[in-house]
Amino acid sequence: MNYLLFLPELALAALAFGVLVIDLFLPRERKGYLPWVSLVGLAGVLALSLRYLWGKDTNLYGGLFLVDSFSLFFKAFFLVMGGLVVLSSMEYVKRHLSHPGEYYGILLLSILAMMLMTSSGELLTAYISLELLSFSLYVLVSFARGDPKSNEAGLKYILLGAFASALLLYGISHVYGMLGTTGFTEISAALLLEETPLNPAVLLGLALIVAGLGFKMAAAPFHMWAPDVYEGAPTPVTAYLAVGVKAAVFALVLRLFSQAFMPAIEEWQVILAILAALTMTVGNLVAIAQSNIKRMLAYSSIGQVGYLLMGVAALSPMASDGVMLHLLGYGISNLAAFLGVILYYNVTGKENIADYAGLADRSPFLAMAMSVALFSLAGLPFFAGFTTKFYLFTAAAEGGFLWLVGLAITNSLISLYYYLIVIKQMYMVPASDKSALKVSLIGGGVLGVLVLGIFLVGVYPAPLVDAIQGATGAILP
Amino acid sequence: MLSLDMAFWTMAVVTVVSAAAVVLLKDVFRAALCLVLTFMVVAGLFVLLSAEFLAVVQVLIYAGAISILIIFAIMLTRDVHQGNPSNRFRYPALVLAALLLAAIVLVVIKTDWNQLDSRVLPGAPTEAVGATETGVKNVFSNTTPVIARLLLRDFVLPFEVASVLLLAAILGALALVREGEG
């Protein structure tokens, strides 16, 4: 067996343990080194992944661990995003949280979990990786120990997360019981042999798996936990939840439904389409009424899950490209928006939409960057969100879901309304406190890079689309 | 087979009743004791399914270690006498749970389960039926080596990831309860 193919995961696990051990020996005033160690390590793991996994299409452990361009694409995505989250956390952790060693160590372990999730070619491996991810997040969400809201968020997340895992596991056991295997390709082969209509037990298993994963990605009606958890969690963790976890779950969903459940597409397509319609409508309508910006972004990200689910419902190579592209565009935009919230919170300690009044006078750069991020989330032209949504919606329309695309466009307009409320606060409403805001150099730099990224993806997405088409080729030939 | 059927139905009823008691009892300590009972009866069900190893592990880990942990945790918790209050979602939850139960029962009735007798072709000679039964008995006569092979060879990757998972859980638990900065 070629262990080089497994090297990035091993290296990342070693890095996480390394950060924890270094933390033991660092005096308190030097804990600031830990994020830099994590960053250098993540860059190293990215280099290892690109060096050893590029162009490979094989598997390890008898099909449990798949090495292909799809998993490489998502691994690179998670590593870069992890680095950005580490950079955004630096100042926040120093000011508001204790135990930085455990924070970065567990963050790295959760990135390991995401990498394993995208590579798993079998339900149990996927489940255990998802659990590793969830456990890390339960801890990270409740990391602000002194803050009752963070504790409440952690408790809600762990209870509902455990419930969702139970549903998922129950579904997996039905599928295994009836088809006799948990491997993705073997499930697909077994489904082809089953007579239609499908055995009710397999259908129930499928429905439970959709419900379990729906909980994890916060699709309506399984989204109740999301707003409270997003509001209570430390803001860098919220950004990570909104971008990383969604991407990891969608990577698993794309692989699962295209490699394992594709022969039964008639059965689950309608369920996913209804979930998508419900999710985007609930998310966007409830977002209007929010006064806390983290809650508003939580509901808006629920709305985005609806668009992504629409792509999965219309699963085809083009729809899969659309989902991945939108995950990326949404990811950059949302990270930028959350980074803006973090930077503002670091200086002022406030996170209500009303507190953003007059931000344009106090820090023109921050106001500009946040407006760009919000416009991109709404999907205005020239921003990343427009290009990626356009691609995704076209793919869904070609997949026969024209009604759903119409609903998605209506929802995008609704979302523009509540994003504009924030922008109006920043530009039109005068500030009560006129003093200039000083944004930290690192945070500002990362935000600048993200804004450039938003424009780059919006104007020139061709290289990305090429990479994504290669990645889709591995799961949907 | 009548004695096996009786054993199964007794244990099944006890499992369901004690599991329901865990959720419904107001006193948390009594609920924990019912949970122990549930663990024990499930171990009995494993024995009926010829999974002796799993049954022993269930008794050792769940009925033994985890129950004691839960009971300790309850005894060390303040305000435990407040019990297990219900909230305004009690009746909607009841309706939803009943619907889910109805769906599962419907699936159980409607599904053509892969039972041993339905797997053997109709009209096959009785030796074939006997051979299948012996084959199944052989697989289930000694489950420990099968489990060992599955865990440590075929599924070694998730097995190892589970250890990382436990490490993350321990670290997290410590980070969340440890006093002081640092």
**What are the tens digits of pLDDT across the range B115-171?**
655 454 445 555 555 556 666 666 666 788 888 998 998 899 999 999 999 999 999
- Both structure tokens of A11: 């290296």
Q: What is the 3-state secondary structure (H, E, C) of chain A?
A: CCHHHHHHHHHHHHHHHHHHHHHHHCCHHHCCHHHHHHHHHHHHHHHHHHHHHCCCCEEEHHHCEEECHHHHHHHHHHHHHHHHHHHHHHHHHHHHCCCHHHHHHHHHHHHHHHHHHHHECEHHHHHHHHHHHHHHHHHHHCCCCCCHHHHHHHHHHHHHHHHHHHHHHHHHHHHHHHHCCCEHHHHHHHHHHCCCCCCHHHHHHHHHHHHHHHHHHCCCCCCCHHHHHHHHCCHHHHHHHHHHHHHHHHHHHHHHHHHHCHHHHHHHHHHHHHHHHHHHHHHHHHHHCCCEHHHHHHHHHHHHHHHHHHHHHCCCHHHHHHHHHHHHHHHHHHHHHHHHHHHHHHHHCCCEHHHHCCHHHHCHHHHHHHHHHHHHHHCCCCCHHHHHHHHHHHHHHHCCCHHHHHHHHHHHHHHHHHHHHHHHHHHCCCCCCCCCCCCCHHHHHHHHHHHHHHHHHHHCCHHHHHHHHHHHHHHCC
> Which chain B residues are within 8 Å of A99, Cβ to Cβ?
175, 178, 181-182
Query: B102 to chain A, minimum CA–CA distance in Å?
Result: 12
CB pairs under 8 A between A and B: 90
Tens of pLDDT along chain A (477 residues) come to: 788 899 999 999 999 999 999 999 998 888 889 999 999 999 999 999 999 988 888 888 888 999 999 999 999 999 999 999 999 999 999 988 888 999 999 999 999 999 999 999 999 999 999 999 999 999 999 998 888 999 999 999 999 999 999 999 999 999 998 888 899 999 999 998 877 678 889 999 999 999 999 999 999 889 989 999 999 999 999 999 999 999 999 999 999 999 999 998 888 999 999 999 999 999 999 999 999 999 999 999 999 999 999 999 999 999 999 999 999 999 999 999 999 999 999 988 888 999 999 899 899 999 999 999 999 999 999 999 999 999 999 999 999 999 999 999 999 999 999 999 999 999 998 888 788 888 889 999 999 999 999 999 999 999 999 999 999 998 987
Measured in whole angstroms, the distance separating CA A116 from the mean position of its chain's CA atoms is 15
Q: What is the pLDDT of residue B121?
A: 47
Chain B environment of A142 (Cβ under 8 Å): 176
User: Mutate which of A29, A135, A150, A194 to disrupt the B interface (most B C-beta within 10 Å)?
Assistant: A135
A64 chain-B contacts, CB cut-off 8 A:
155, 157-158
Tell me how long chain B is: 182
Per-residue pLDDT, B136: 62
Q: How does residue B50 score in pLDDT terms, banded at 50, 70 and 90? A: confident
- pLDDT, residue A179, reads 87
What percent of chain B lies above the pLDDT cut of 90?
43
Give the model's pLDDT for residue B177. 85
pLDDT at B129: 56
pLDDT at B178: 80
Closest residue in A to B163 (Cα–Cα): A132
Looking at the DSSP bridge assignments, the partners of residue B48 are: none
Sequence letter at residue A453: G
Structure tokens at B54: 């799993």
pLDDT at position A196 is 67
Tokens of A197: 């209509």
> Is the bond preceding A27 in cis, omega lying within 30 degrees of 0?
no
Q: What is the pLDDT of residue B3?
A: 86
pLDDT of residue B84: 66
From chain A, pick out residues whose CB is under 8 angstroms from the CB of B173.
Answer: 139
Beta-strand relationship, A65-67 and A58-60? antiparallel
Q: CB-based contact (8 Å) between A150 and chain B?
A: no
CB contact under 8 A, B107 and A200: yes
- Chain A nearest CA to B86, separation (Å): 16
**What does residue A349 show for φ and ψ, rounded to 5 degrees?**
75, 20
Sketch out chain B's domains with CATH numbers: 1-85 (1.20.120.1200)
**CB pair distance less than 8 Å for A132 and B165:** yes
Six-digit token string for B152: 């440590």
pLDDT at B114: 66
| pLDDT confidence of residue B181 | 54
ipTM of the complex: 0.89
Dig out the tokens for B42 from the structure. 């499930």
User: Which residue reads 């997040």 in tokens?
Assistant: A137
Residue of A nearest to B178 (CA): A99
**Other beta carbons less than 10 A from residue A265's beta carbon:** 16
CB contact under 8 A, B169 and A135: yes
Give helix A246-255 / helix A100-119 axis angle, nearest 10°. Answer: 20
pLDDT reported for residue A177: 87
Q: Which residues of chain A lie closer than 8 angstroms to B161, CB-CB?
A: 113, 116, 125, 128-129, 132
Alpha helices, DSSP H only, in chain B? Answer: 2-24, 28-48, 52-57, 67-75, 90-110, 116-119, 126-141, 143-149, 156-177
Inter-chain residue contact B176 with A199, CB threshold 8 Å = no
H or E stretch including B152? Answer: none
